[in-house]
Amino acid sequence: MASVAVLGVLVSGLVTAPTTAEAASASSFDPGELISDENFYAGGSMDAGAVQRFLDERRPQCVSGYTCLVDYKQATPSMPANRYCTAMNGVANESSASIIARVGAACGINPRVLLVLLEKEQSLVTHRSPNATRYAKATGFACPDTAPCDSSFGGFFYQVYYAARQFQVYKTFPQNYNHIAGRVNNILYHPNAACGSSPVLIRNQATAGLYNYTPYQPNAAALANLYGTGDSCSAYGNRNFWRIWTDWFGDPRSSNGVDPFGSIQSVSTTPARAIATGFAIDPSAPAQAISVNLYLDGVWQRTYRADQSNAAAGQALTGAGNNHGFSIEFAMRGVPVEMCIAALNVGAGKDQWIGCRTVQPPTGQPVGRIDHASASGRTANISGWALDPDTAASINVHAYLDGRYAGAFTANTSRPDVGRVYRDYGDRHGFAFQLPIPVGTSEVCVYAIAVPMGDNPLLGCREVSNASGPPRGQLDGTSAGPGSVSVSGWALDPDTAASIEVQMLVNGRVVTTGRADRSRPDVGRVFPGYGNNHGYAMTASVAGGTNTVCVRALNVRSGSDVQLGCRVVETPSGSPFGNIDSLVVDSATGALTVNGWAIDPDSTAPVTVRVYVNGAVRAEYAANGSRPDVARYYPAYGAQRGMQSGQLTLSPGVNSICIWALNTGAGDPKLLGCKTANITGSPFGRIDSASVDPATGALRLNGWAIDPDTAASPLINLYLGGDLVAQERATASRPDVARVYPLYGAQRGLGSLTTTVPPGSHRVCAWAVNEGAGSSVLLGCPVVTR
């Protein structure tokens, strides 16, 4: 409310003189002032007769069957008085001219504004065939771009009345809306936000009201074709308002005299205050010093005289002299503020905004540094200074010792040197504090704590030392085992009481890194203050044979890494060895199980065993089965040395099996032995049944046969009364046989073997013919009768 009252004072008493209409030129368009407040709010500037004459002058050739605006009439309702408009009595058959003039007077809005609004929204002033829809939304009130019109505000009278009333609402409560006079507003070019926007300093309430009513400004394309269309990102509402007013009534911003002008030349800030400098001149009274008003966030603050010497003023207007400068000082409140300065008119003309600035309080990260850091025994002495541009008060600093929080301190000691550099901040920005430190070298870091919040910058880090140098220690002992070497000893660095890292090297190559953190009370007694935890013990895998083992202590801070000692160690080495205890073959399945063990002297890892069958590699696996008996003889290698877990399937016949242990490190692969595994013998099988077809004499024989020496189906000889009558392979399918003897498959049945039997009783004998080792076998001699 206060800002509205002050703005009213700023423009009060300014009367708009009649102007002459002229064709609009895009070069004259100013998005910050579409129309003057005097012109916009001149509600009584036209009576009904003047409006009617204006409409008659622009009477279109109205199409038959339509009522054009110049002839439009309607019954109007009575409207009660409110804080925006005076009361209006209803009229039975009121003309459009009377409605426009009476609403303008009641609501304090120039009837010219309403005429232009009707034309730019629905072309009603000049339209030749306006339908009911155009009258229903005549001024576009309550008709947003993104939704249908609100029908409760429909109809010509309501559209004119509520549009005029809404402009007074904008004026009464400017802070409630997006576009505010006296501020830089970011105004879109189009409802599609992707079309962009630009900042506009809205210089009066009338312009702010138009942007609140139609929240877009024309883009360059719309201005380039002032009486046509631009591009897909063009909006025309406020362009057309300004253009139509200019065409009909002349410059919407015109006044009778010459307006004051000026410039804001600089704005400087400290934590407590801001100072704006510039000049203001009124050409109507060039020798006279005028006044300027200061507004903060749209609220009037004070009036100042622009009477100080300013060379830029004399250059801006010849003969005006230099005494038109101003220097305005106001208090900062720790937050950004929108500052606007208006030049107050003298004589002809009207008050003018000189400009607006967003004034930021001084801000930024704290600054400072550590000036001094030293150690006195077990105490560190740290001093320096810290200052936050956001406040003149002393701030806190936080100290960290070796990366851990060590305390908070206030930078409030006197530092005149800092005060001279940072005027307005005083000199109470120094800090000096002490920290307890351990033996060795420590790092102290200091951070400035921002006010009220923000980044807390590091002012610096310094090392303070009461002891320093390269690491110390020794290699106490080494021990060797199969495939490994162990070392032990102690190491510490004078720069720190913490345990340090040590490396174990084998033949010049780092094989492992550990920490010297085991308890060594003997070391603690020799180096008081460092504690006992400086012992190390490490084990690493090595190749068998002779190895040079060294230990290196890694340096902390000053100094360099130190080699603590080297030893030559011997570890077991050679080719693998072991034994094949047994080979077990399942004659039905052909499964081979190898039982035995293997060890490689170079390593405690399981030995890889490779199995060859008849010269071809058939399997490879780790000998890691449990063999406690082997562990009793070779305890250094443990019990996981057995190979009984390996299995493979052999083919029928004679199989030569050789087992090799693959070598690790020094040595060669070792043949553990070769053995023969035979799946041979005479054929076997049986006759399940025999029958004769009485009519044909056909013999049907069922049974099966297997020869262990071959994967092929065995040959079957059939004898009748001692004579060989048929010879066939046992190839009929017998899945039941395959389930019992999976090595040989299902093709072992006698179902395909047949002959013709003469009448009478006969003995039929079937023989399985042997291949390889063994002899032929009689499967049976059943008696059959036809």
Q: For 625-642, how does the pLDDT look when each residue is reduced to its tens digit (9 = 90+)?
A: 899 999 898 888 889 988
Q: What is the arithmetic mean of pLDDT over 569-581?
A: 88
- The gap from C-alpha 25 to its chain's centroid, in whole angstroms, comes to 50
Q: Reply yes or no on whether the pLDDT at 721 is more than 90.
A: no
Contact of 388 with 422, CB cutoff 8 Å: no
| Residue 359 structure tokens | 């004034």
Task: Read off the pTM.
Answer: 0.38
Whole-number pLDDT of residue 3: 29
Whole-number pLDDT of residue 5: 27
3-state secondary structure 442-486: EEEEEEECCCCCCCCCEEEEEEEECCCCCCEEEEEEEEEECCEEE
Q: Which of 107-116, 134-143, 344-353, 590-599 has the lowest mean pLDDT?
A: 344-353
Separation between Cα atoms, residue 397 and residue 431, nearest integer Å? 8
The phi and psi torsions of 458 (rounded to 5 degrees) equal -80, 125
Which residue would you say has higher pLDDT here, 528 or 116? 116
Whole-number pLDDT of residue 704: 93
The residue among 688, 741, 744, 748 whose CA lies nearest residue 716 is 748
Q: Reply yes or no on whether the pLDDT at 20 is more than 50.
A: no
pLDDT digits (tens, 9 = 90+) for 709-718: 888 889 999 9
The answer regarding whether domain 577-679 maps to CATH 3.40.920.10 reads no
Where in the chain are the domains? 26-249, 261-359, 367-466, 472-547, 577-679, 684-785
The residue among 277, 223, 286, 205 whose CA lies nearest residue 40 is 205
pLDDT digits (tens, 9 = 90+) for 295-312: 999 899 999 999 999 988
Q: What is the arithmetic mean of pLDDT over 8-36?
A: 60
Q: Which of 12-21, 134-143, 165-174 has the lowest mean pLDDT?
A: 12-21
Residues 6+ apart with CB under 8 A from 480: 486, 569, 570, 571
Contact of 637 with 625, CB cutoff 8 Å: no
The answer regarding whether domain 684-785 maps to CATH 3.20.20.70 reads no
Q: What is the arithmetic mean of pLDDT over 141-165?
A: 94
CA dihedral 30→33→35→38, nearest 10 degrees, is -150
Which residue would you say has higher pLDDT here, 706 or 161? 161
Q: 367-466 has which fold? A: Immunoglobulin-like (2.60.40)
Pick the CATH number of 261-359 from 2.60.40.10, 3.30.1120.10, 1.20.120.80, 2.60.120.260: 2.60.40.10
Contact of 224 with 16, CB cutoff 8 Å: no
Whole-number pLDDT of residue 647: 64
Separation between Cα atoms, residue 382 and residue 462, nearest integer Å? 9
Fold match between domain 577-679 and domain 684-785: yes
Whole-number pLDDT of residue 131: 97
pLDDT-based confidence at 708, cuts 50/70/90?
A: confident
Contact of 746 with 737, CB cutoff 8 Å: yes
Mean pLDDT of the chain: 89
Q: Reply yes or no on whether the pLDDT at 195 is more than 90.
A: yes
pLDDT digits (tens, 9 = 90+) for 336-376: 899 999 999 887 677 888 888 889 888 788 999 999 999 98
Whole-number pLDDT of residue 645: 52
Q: Reply yes or no on whether the pLDDT at 22 is more than 60.
A: no
Please state, as a whole number, how many other Cβ atoms lie within 10 Å of the Cβ of residue 561.
13
Q: Reply yes or no on whether the pLDDT at 80 is more than 50.
A: yes
Separation between Cα atoms, residue 361 and residue 357, nearest integer Å? 12
pLDDT digits (tens, 9 = 90+) for 216-260: 999 999 999 999 999 999 999 999 999 999 888 888 986 544 678
Whole-number pLDDT of residue 581: 87
Separation between Cα atoms, residue 558 and residue 441, nearest integer Å? 9
Q: Reply yes or no on whether the pLDDT at 168 is more than 80.
A: yes
Residue 272 exposed, middle or buried by CB count within 10 Å (0-12, 13-18, 19+): middle
Whole-number pLDDT of residue 505: 96
Whole-number pLDDT of residue 209: 97
Which residue would you say has higher pLDDT here, 510 or 726? 510
Residues 6+ apart with CB under 8 A from 134: 122, 123, 124, 127
Q: Reply yes or no on whether the pLDDT at 19 is more than 60.
A: no
